[in-house]
Amino acid sequence: MAKRNLGIVSKILSDVQAPASEEPKSEEAIKKDTSEEKKEATKNRKLKGFYLTMENEVRLKELQMMYLKKGIRVSESELINRALEDFYFKHKNG
């Protein structure tokens, strides 16, 4: 009888699963989550001492394309230097 009741309980529990947020996490799962976050953080490309997010890389490529349409070839480094100079002079005169 006890085996039968245990089988019924385990069947009910297997049918009803807790949402992912309520399930307890093991230490290995927590370590895996943090290592994935670190990997995601390192996906940013470093250029001239700055880490570029994916959005900023897209903006940088769009600026390069804009200049290419005008017939001006500009490297990523030049664009970043121009942006830094512009930022510096705006805040210096601010």
More confident residue, 55 or 29: 55
For residue 83, what pLDDT band results from cuts at 50, 70 and 90?
confident
Domain ranges of the chain: 44-94
Return d(Cα 27, Cα 49) in angstroms, integer: 35
- Per-residue pLDDT reduced to its tens digit, 43-61: 777 777 778 888 888 888 9
59, with CB counted inside 10 A (0-12, 13-18, 19+), is middle
Sign for the pseudo-dihedral over CA of 65, 67, 69, 72: negative
